[in-house]
Amino acid sequence: MALRGITVVELGGLAPVPFCGMVLADFGAHVVRVDRPGTRNDPSGLARGKRSLVVDLKRPRGAAVLRRLCAQADVLLEPFRPGVMERLQLGPEILQKKNPRLIYGRLSGFGQSGRFSKAAGHDINYLALSGVLSRIGRSGENPYAPLNLLADFGGGGLMCTMGIIMALFERTRSGKGQVIDASMVEGTAYLSSFLWKTQEAGLWDQPRGQNVLDGGAPFYTTYRTADGGFMAVGALEPQFYELLIKGLGLKSDELPNQMSIKDWPEMKKKFADIFAKKTKAEWCQIFDGTDACVTPVLTFEEVIHHGHNKDRGSFITDTEQRVSPRPAPLLSNTPALPSTKRDPFVGEHTEQILKELGFSQKEIIQLKLDNIVEIHKLSVNL
């Protein structure tokens, strides 16, 4: 795989860092997740392909274990607020002095500097400070966050992953690692570059929820069907819009111009009435195979059975029969081969990893007795 031979140390945390680590693991990196003592379950659910080591980083001997681990690693991923790693004597100055090739990924909400840098926050707060949240929501309603996808996973985890890949590539030239300051606020803002770059194009002249791409247009929104399902309509271009009108059983010459904004509310009501008269399956029969840009809104239960997704093998099933999306994008020569084994439980690989680092069995036992590390082995009921 593309990242074969790359070793990543991931400090346990919530959604963004675990996602970044999982992407790297899916594409071949060896990822060791360092969990906190007393932790029993991984809250992220994003542990695919990783191993788990439990060590108390607040204890000097525990921090020494991590320094030893990072001396042999390519990447460190840490999810803490600025200053935490420095107080533990685990900052980039210390770790990169021992291992100049180490890429030190710092993924945080507000970044490593700035007046909010040490403040608590979550996806909705980062989304708000990026400016993007102000653009999301229906007309006349409060802005709303689209799950916790944009800041946590898009602006956070995925942008950090991209930074790591670029740093790994640059290291092939310089031989040196570097520090990555991945801010979820800035990552989300960067994702919204299209909004900024099209300010003068007229796409966003109307209030929130009344523009072409934010639910204001009758040809770019969702409609409820007779059976309680939904269809997504994205017929932006005139030729696609014409096919939408035809599929709805309407005639263009009897309707207002597609871009007549004042007529959009009435057109949405008309389209809604028509969509409500047939089931989702019936609308699929009408629009499948056309360029009307009308597709069903699939539930998680439906999406894995949809013909297109089955054609491409877009979803995978692990040994515990849990379904999840296949890693993307597809690489022709070095595709991702995600693990289908169960996710590791916390501390499952502590002893194995310590032995790989050169600790003797006697040293490992003493670390365990002193509560520096925790070892949790799989118990088998016979």
288 tagged catalytic: no
Could you say which DSSP state residue 64 is in?
H
Categorise residue 5: left if φ over 0, alpha if ψ from -120 to 50, beta otherwise. Answer: left
Closest by CA position to 327, among listed 319, 336, 318: 336
Task: Write down the catalytic residue from 122, 181, 306, 318.
Answer: 122
Distance CA 254, CA 251 (A): 6
Buried b (16+ CB within 10 A) or exposed e, 241-256: bebbbebbeeeeeeee
Q: Are 110 and 185 in contact (CB under 8 A)?
A: yes
What letter represents residue 328's amino acid? Answer: A
* Structure tokens given for 251: 């005639």
Distance CA 358, CA 370 (A): 19
Residues in the chain, how many?
382
Distance CA 102, CA 168 (A): 9
Q: Are 222 and 230 in contact (CB under 8 A)?
A: yes
For 9, 32, 69, the CA distances from 72, given in Å and listed in that order, are: 10, 12, 6
Helix (H/G/I), strand (E/B), else coil: 231: strand
376 tagged catalytic: no
Residues 6+ apart with CB under 8 A from 183: 108, 109, 110, 111, 112
Distance CA 275, CA 298 (A): 16
Q: Are 148 and 124 in contact (CB under 8 A)?
A: yes
Categorise residue 29: left if φ over 0, alpha if ψ from -120 to 50, beta otherwise. Answer: beta
Q: What are the beta bridge partners of residue 54?
A: 35, 374
Task: Write down the catalytic residue from 35, 74, 152, 343.
Answer: 152
Task: Give catalytic residue positions.
Answer: 122, 152
